[in-house]
Amino acid sequence: MYDKVPTNLNFVEREVQTEQFWKEHDIFGKSIKAREGAPVFTFYDGPPTANGKPHIGHIITRAVKDLIPRYKTMKGYKVLRKAGWDTHGLPVELEVEKSLGLDGKPQIEDYGVEPFIAKCKESVWTYEKEWRAMSDRVGFWADMDHPYVTYHNEYIESEWWALKQIWDKGLLYKGHKVVPYCPRCGTALSSHEVAQGYKDVKETSVIAKFKVEGKDNEYFLAWTTTPWTLPSNVALTVNADETYARVKYQDYVAIMAEALLDTILGEGNYEVLETMKGKELEYMRYEPLFSFLENDPKAFIVTCDPYVTLTDGTGVVHSAGAFGEDDARVCNAYNVPFRQYVDDSGNMTKETGPFAGLFVKDADPKVIEYMEQDGSLFAAIPFEHNYPFCWRCDTPLIYYARSTWFIKMTALRDNLVRNNRTINWYPDNIKEGRFGNFLENVIDWGLSRERYWGTPLPI
Ligand SMILES: [Zn+2]
């Protein structure tokens, strides 16, 4: 012991000495054995992945996760600490894909799913040594010699057990849902993943002219930020309670929200022929936007929904049920069939005529060019917005209808919120703030992934 800290003390050296002392004398093991019969404090460690190197963020979490068990041990509790490894998932697949020089799902399937998975299994231990060294060095105590591993069958069986409980409660269901989807990875992304990849991009929105059925020269003007979804259009949506107008503009008649006439057509450039509530437009029919598209008696109608606002565009929204959450909801309500004219690699399908084979974002300028020539374009408007990209591979995400397995978290919301109130949060603003808000707005959890290296679903 020192009366005061000597100026020549080498802290790093002392840390290493302490680390060695702990190891040689199995101090961690003793700290548990010495508490035989004492009350148990249970600690669950969310496992890291060992296929990536540890970084400063891991050191912070390891330090915090060590602090509480250590404190509880000092207070007399027996605190078992089993280390764990998160081994499944897309990051592992992407790493292996890269190392094998593969690009995308078709190439993985050509290579063979079984050998691919074998490579994944190997690669999850790439940095285990570095992780152990880091954990020792920061004084993180856990039983690293008997870890739980998420690809082990015992672990998978536990997950299956949990899923069965969820199934028995009627909380597991298969839905057809529009999800943020990476066309390169070929999988849906969680909202948490989506939130990590937003970028400001310059794109072109369009106002398209949808010809009213049975009228020679009359068009709905509808706005969209995603021209590539126009070939999959199946409905137009208006707000039942807003006022719409039929106006004479240039040499044709246009229908759109009255409040936006000046903005879109220009003050004094039009003559109002008639106004009506959106409700009166409901079930009006119009023609498919492009001549190469097949007509369908169940589609191409005007629908009403309160999600349509007059803050942007024309007050008439182009609906493609396969590519938008609101669109899907409205189309379902009106029994309008989906048209999903984009394949799961994000390429336009053969039904889209001149655009077939193009990646959706590459189709945008072609669609606009085509519309310009065939007279269905009212305006192309450049705009800048915040658009989500895949945080793993940087491909623009698309909203895309997939069949997915969900856990009905929304049915548990009240319980989650109630339980959260009993938790002692540090800092306490997290309780009603970040975490409380998350629970208040909880959505159903889409847990299936259309990939290879993960827990097989027992369904
Ligand atoms: Zn991706």
Strand-pair partners of 148:
84
CA 118 to the chain's CA centroid: 28
For every residue of 123-181, DSSP letters joined together read: HTTTTHHHHHHHHHHTT---EEEEEEETTSHHHHHHHHHHHHHHHHTT-EEEEEEEEEE
pLDDT tens string 332-351: 889 998 899 999 899 999 99
- Are 259 and 327 in contact by the 8 Å Cβ rule? The answer is no
User: Lowest-confidence range among 190-199, 311-320, 354-363?
Assistant: 190-199
d(CA 145, CA 128): 12
Residue 32 near residue 78 (C-beta atoms within 8 A):
yes
429-445, pLDDT tens digit by residue?
999 999 999 999 888 88
| Tokens of residue 191, six digits | 């909202």
Mean pLDDT score across all residues of the chain: 93
pLDDT score, position 316: 97
Q: Give me the pLDDT at residue 441, please.
A: 86
Mean pLDDT, range 297-323, rounded to an integer: 94
Q: Ligand 1 centroid to 219 CA: how many Å? A: 39
pLDDT over threshold 80, residue 111: yes
**pLDDT winner (highest mean) among 49-53, 213-217, 388-392:** 213-217
3-state SS string over 57-118? HHHHHHHHHHHHHHHHHHCCCECCCEEEECCCCHHHHHHHHHHHCCCCHHHHHHHCHHHHHH
Q: Which CATH architecture has domain 11-161?
A: 3-Layer(aba) Sandwich (3.40)
Quickly tell me which residue has 């949808």 as its tokens. 210
Q: Taking the model in full, what pTM does it have?
A: 0.67
How much distance in Å is there from the Cα of 177 to the middle of ligand 1? 19
Query: Residue 14 has what DSSP assignment?
Result: H
Cα–Cα distance for residue pair 442/409, rounded to 1 Å? 7
pLDDT at 190: 75
Sheet of 172-182: strands edge to edge? Answer: 187-188, 172-182, 398-407, 445-446
Half-sphere exposure of 131 (CA within 13 A, CB side): 22
Helix orientation angle between 128-137 and 56-74, rounded to the nearest 10 degrees = 50
442 alpha carbon to ligand 1 midpoint, in Å? 24
Residue 2's pLDDT band (cuts 50, 70, 90)? low
Burial class (CB in 10 A: 0-12, 13-18, 19+), 316: buried
Distance CA 166, CA 161 (A): 9
In the prediction, which pLDDT does 195 show?
Answer: 85
147 C-alpha to ligand 1 centroid (Å): 30
Cα of 4 vs centre of ligand 1, distance in Å, is 56
What is the CA(182)–ligand 1 centre distance, in A? Answer: 5
Q: What is the pLDDT of residues 404-420, one digit of tens each?
A: 888 999 999 999 999 99
Percentage above 70 pLDDT, the chain: 99
How many angstroms does the Cα of residue 172 sit away from the middle of ligand 1? 26
Q: Is the peptide bond before 427 cis (omega within 30 degrees of 0)?
A: yes
Centre of ligand 1 to C-alpha 189, Å, is: 9
* CA 101 / ligand 1 centre spacing (Å): 16
Distance 353 CA to ligand 1 centre (A): 27
The model's confidence at residue 1, banded by pLDDT at 50, 70 and 90, is: low
Nearest to 205 by CA among 390, 388, 385, 401: 385
CB 64 within 8 A of CB 105: no
CATH 3.90.740.10 segments of the chain:
198-388
Answer yes or no: is pLDDT of 367 > 80. yes
Q: Are 336 and 301 in contact (CB under 8 A)?
A: yes
Task: Give the integer Cα–Cα distance in Å for 300 and 339.
Answer: 11
Q: How far is the CA of 394 from the centre of ligand 1 (A)?
A: 6
Domain over 198-388 is classified CATH 3.40.50.300: no
Question: What would the pLDDT profile of 211-229 be if each residue is shown by its tens digit?
Answer: 999 999 999 999 999 999 9
Query: How many angstroms is it from 185 CA to the middle of ligand 1?
Result: 4
- CA–centroid distance, 320 to ligand 1, in Å, is 23
| pLDDT tens-place string over residues 237-286 | 999 999 999 999 999 999 999 999 999 999 999 999 999 999 999 999 99
The distance in angstroms from the start CA to the end CA of the chain is 63
Query: Where in the sequence of the chain do the CATH 3.40.50.620 domains occur?
Result: 11-161
At 28, the pLDDT band (50, 70, 90 cuts) reads very high
